Structure 1
């Protein structure tokens, strides 16, 4: 095994372990909150599904990529390749939709409590669950054609128009189907990213206006601790920023792979690393701005020391 392949295999393995540990830690965090009887926020349900989708993205792509980088390139059967690519596409699209929904939901949460928005803000959390279920069902249907054009790397068919993913091969379905699917995926991504940017811009505006009001009212006595809503908003803004950044780099690399007929292996590996980057870093961003567990522990300690 070449040293370059070994290094790339260790990088994929490190990213996979880091991502799985982060997402499992986030799920354990919510399990702790559930066992302690803590009240959940409306956005917590979205984050749970986002974490599950991220776990699937990391496992379903990280493990095969690690094995392929370490020299085991022909270990998946035809059914295995179809399953891997289908579950990956569905989980990736659900992760994108959940991130968009998370950004919109937080923007609604911190919006001003005006009478005309009061009823809408009260009903909005009820639609989060149906929207998440819709994401899973819709993306499962939209990606139903993916397994038809993915096959194992060892094949008796003499096909020249294919893309080698090191451990599997994807065939070109034809210009019409490929253009239709690419247009659909592009429209979905542009729609989600557009909503993310709009809601993020709105949250930045609300936070800036709130900061100006606080400075005006308490010029000489400003609390250094931000509210839970403010911390949650900052985490989602950082999350969306990372998503857009990874999306831009991933799109550039995908275009390069589509244009270049004889693309090199390092370009394929870099594209794979960038593609799974958001699923790896997102749980750490969310946990770093959520201090409910430490505050619950402190409250429990204070209650034992000062019983009523």
Structure 2
């Protein structure tokens, strides 16, 4: 009979490999599409970054967690623990910020022409680059404190000032500045989640009004087949809903780990929830975003392996 540790190791390994495969497929597809001279949508620049940071999240946390579940609990020293936790934290913050940017961008794209937001459509590319650089710089600098407080497993002499994360530990517990640090780090997260909820509601309202108008003009039959823009918008809504759900649950567990009772199952559950969005989101895009299929078919045609007509770009 398989022990619980081995079963956990197999589970985390499968989740990490599954998600890394999907994100790597998207990354390769976008890179090859660019290298072959094909045009991509402005929103694909955001999706490319999302796939990249999702891969960082999965690999930086999934691989150590898998090794720890298989019984290798002292394979990282201080430097390794600092690097793993820093990369994961930065990637997690960037995943939140990029998903927020994605929902905002989609809200601007589908906004009616009469709205004041239409003036932003012509400057979308410039804003994407500016916001992306700002978020990367901010999170790389804001999380530097992790390099100070994260330690190797059980390195602290005072056990009351240490929190053990199976293969690493931290000494945030007992620090007089921990409350201020958590507030500063959490504030951008709260703002981003609020923006995502607001833009998602705005998108749903726009889609509802659009469908009601189409139904009135052309009748009920058109409602069964949505336009490519509607499908892309629904994909973004699904991604945002997934992220907010998993992020909220994981944040509650993360707070419990840092401030209250700490158990192994709580740590494992938190890691599982943190990996759900990065492991599932690429397949949501592959299945529901018709533009991803278009890029794939276009590459196959250029390689002479497929004669299927390319889908109409939107």
TM-score, normalized by the shorter chain, greater than 0.5: yes
Count matched residues. 303
Q: Structure 2: any 5+ residue segments left out of the alignment?
A: 302-306
Contact 1:107 1:202 in 2 (8 A): yes
Q: Quick one: distance in 2 between partners of 1:140 and 1:116?
A: 34
Q: Compared with structure 1, are the counterparts of its residues 209 and 70 closer, same or farther at alpha carbon in structure 2 (3 Å cutoff)? A: same
1:37-90: CA deviations, max 9, x gaps?
A: 432111111111111111111001110000000000000011111111111111
Match of 2:84 in 1: 84
Once the two structures are TM-superposed, the CA of residue 94 in structure 1 deviates from its matched residue by 0.7
More displaced 10-residue stretch of structure 1: 117-126 or 292-301? 292-301
Contact 1:162 1:169 in 2 (8 A): yes
Q: Quick one: distance in 1 between partners of 2:2 and 2:161?
A: 28
Listed as ranges, the matches of 1:99-178 within 5 Å are: 99-114=99-114, 116-155=116-155, 157-172=157-172, 174-178=174-178
Please, what is the CA RMSD of the aligned residues?
Answer: 2.3
Match of 2:212 in 1: 212
Once the two structures are TM-superposed, the CA of residue 220 in structure 1 deviates from its matched residue by 5.6
Q: Quick one: distance in 2 between partners of 1:110 and 1:220?
A: 22
Match of 1:192 in 2: 192
Q: Structure 1: any 5+ residue segments left out of the alignment?
A: none
Q: Quick one: distance in 1 between partners of 2:179 and 2:150?
A: 17
Q: Quick one: distance in 2 between partners of 1:295 and 1:99?
A: 23
Listed as ranges, the matches of 1:1-308 within 5 Å are: 3-35=3-35, 37-114=37-114, 116-155=116-155, 157-172=157-172, 174-219=174-219, 221-222=221-222, 224-261=224-261, 263-292=262-291, 294-295=293-294, 297=297, 301=307
Once the two structures are TM-superposed, the CA of residue 155 in structure 1 deviates from its matched residue by 2.6
Once the two structures are TM-superposed, the CA of residue 26 in structure 1 deviates from its matched residue by 1.3
- Tell me the TM-score normalised to structure 2 length: 0.89
Contact 1:74 1:154 in 2 (8 A): no
- Tell me the TM-score normalised to structure 1 length: 0.91
Contact 1:153 1:168 in 2 (8 A): yes
Once the two structures are TM-superposed, the CA of residue 33 in structure 1 deviates from its matched residue by 3.1
Q: Quick one: distance in 2 between partners of 1:251 and 1:115?
A: 36
Q: Quick one: distance in 1 between partners of 2:259 and 2:174?
A: 16
Q: Secondary structure at the match of 2:122?
A: helix
1:154-212: CA deviations, max 9, x gaps?
A: 53634421111100011126443200111112211110000000100000001001100
Tell me which stretches of 4 or more aligned residues in structure 1 moved more than 6 Å: none
